[in-house]
């Protein structure tokens, strides 16, 4: 099996590639190395690993990379609302234009696994299912909403709307809510939390990667559809997360009455659809916080928020 991973040098990609290689797949990563190449270096020892340094904004590059691939896991993107807000034109070119380029080269035999986001729901009363109308509040969510629609219309795709990731990965991201809170609690000794009652939903990065393996194994049943991916046990308010962190790290948490979080997401998500096919997450928020504490106590991150 030949698997192309666009954006494979990123936070999710560098956790996913080893799982694909372990299965004996031939894995080709296509990435422009925005955050450097160090996290992919260990993969070169494996003969089944190939790396293409390319930009998804260049149609010829991505069309060439897709040749002879059975599966395309599409991760390459400008990720998160702060990064998209900082570079809105780039965000549209990569997140929407990149998908159009990919569609230009895809064949009907290729399966596309698209990493979309629960950000597409925005601020919702009640519980979000895959049928809930999308109401993205950020440019990030807007680009992802357009991208997932175009992929479903023009390719044999499975769209995953992931919860917010947490946990350690070779290319580390500290802008993710749980990772950020643990890092600040450890390094600054306090957290200032706005709109602490806002509800969010979480998934460990390893479980995101397991979800892609699950899609490969169940493609016949799943193709052409959208799935929320996460766990209802990890639908938590920001205050819930802070309380779990404060129980493990000696820090002061200030729940601010004044001020607002630019990330306006406030939503609860149903994961019934994917659970009913047999997919379950394995890592809890509690375990993820422990893992982050163990790692971040010893490894210094020199540019903690480089992507935003």
Residues that bind ligand NAD (CB under 6 A): 7, 9-13, 31-35, 55-57, 75-77, 79, 94, 115, 117, 162, 164-165, 171, 173, 176, 307
Q: Give least dist CB 257 to ligand NAD, A.
A: 28
User: By C-beta, is 94 or 251 nearer to ligand NAD?
Assistant: 94
Q: Give least dist CB 263 to ligand NAD, A.
A: 12
Neighbouring CB atoms inside 10 A of 175's CB total 18
Neighbouring CB atoms inside 10 A of 228's CB total 25
Residue 274: name the closest of 199, 221, 204 by CA: 221
Q: Give least dist CB 57 to ligand NAD, A.
A: 5
Q: What is the DSSP string of 247-299?
A: TTS--EEEEESS---S---EEEE--HHHHTTT------HHHHHHHHHHHHHH-
114-123 CB burial, b ≥16 within 10 A, e <16: bbbbbbbbbe
Q: Give least dist CB 308 to ligand NAD, A.
A: 10
User: By C-beta, is 7 or 122 nearer to ligand NAD?
Assistant: 7
Helix axes 285-298, 177-188, angle to 10 degrees: 50
For the chain, the distance separating the N- and C-terminal CA atoms, rounded to the nearest angstrom, is 35
User: By C-beta, is 28 or 251 nearer to ligand NAD?
Assistant: 28
User: By C-beta, is 21 or 229 nearer to ligand NAD?
Assistant: 229
119: tokens are 């950000």
Please give the sequence-ordered ranges of beta strands (E in DSSP) within 32-182, or none if there are none.
Answer: 49-53, 71-74, 111-117, 123-128, 156-162, 164-166
CA distance 178 to 238: 9
Under 8 Å between Cβ of 199 and 268: yes
User: By C-beta, is 255 or 306 nearer to ligand NAD?
Assistant: 306
User: By C-beta, is 116 or 244 nearer to ligand NAD?
Assistant: 116
Q: Give least dist CB 270 to ligand NAD, A.
A: 17
User: By C-beta, is 51 or 251 nearer to ligand NAD?
Assistant: 51
Q: Give least dist CB 234 to ligand NAD, A.
A: 12
Q: Give least dist CB 215 to ligand NAD, A.
A: 14
């Amino acid at each position: 099996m030949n698997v192309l991973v666009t954006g494979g040098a990123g936070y999710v990609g560098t956790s996913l590639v080893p799982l694909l290689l372990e299965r004996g797949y031939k894995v080709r990563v296509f990435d422009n190395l925005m955050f450097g190449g160090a996290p992919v270096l260990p993969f070169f020892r494996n003969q089944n690993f190939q790396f293409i340094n390319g930009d998804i904004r260049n149609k010829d590059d991505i069309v060439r990379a897709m040749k002879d691939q059975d599966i395309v896991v599409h991760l390459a993107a400008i990720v998160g609302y702060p990064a998209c807000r900082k570079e809105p034109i780039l965000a549209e070119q990569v997140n929407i234009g990149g998908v159009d380029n990919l569609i230009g080269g895809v064949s009907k035999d290729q399966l596309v696994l698209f990493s979309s986001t629960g950000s597409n729901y925005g601020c919702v009363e009640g519980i979000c299912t895959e049928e809930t109308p999308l109401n993205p509040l950020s440019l990030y969510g807007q680009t992802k909403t357009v991208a997932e629609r175009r992929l479903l219309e023009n390719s044999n795709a499975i769209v995953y709307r992931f919860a917010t990731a947490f946990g350690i990965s070779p290319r580390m991201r500290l802008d993710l809510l749980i990772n950020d809170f643990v890092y600040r609690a450890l390094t600054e000794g306090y957290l200032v939390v706005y709109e602490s009652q806002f509800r969010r939903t979480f998934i460990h990065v390893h479980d995101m990667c397991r979800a892609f393996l699950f899609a490969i194994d169940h493609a016949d049943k799943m193709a052409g559809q959208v799935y929320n991916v996460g766990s209802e046990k990890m639908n938590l308010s920001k205050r819930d997360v802070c309380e779990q962190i404060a129980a493990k790290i000696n820090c002061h948490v200030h729940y601010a009455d004044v001020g607002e979080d630019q990330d306006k997401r406030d939503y609860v998500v149903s994961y019934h659809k994917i659970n009913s096919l047999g997919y379950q997450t394995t890592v809890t928020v509690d375990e993820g916080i422990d893992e982050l504490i163990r790692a971040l106590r010893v490894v210094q991150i020199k540019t903690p928020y480089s992507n935003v």
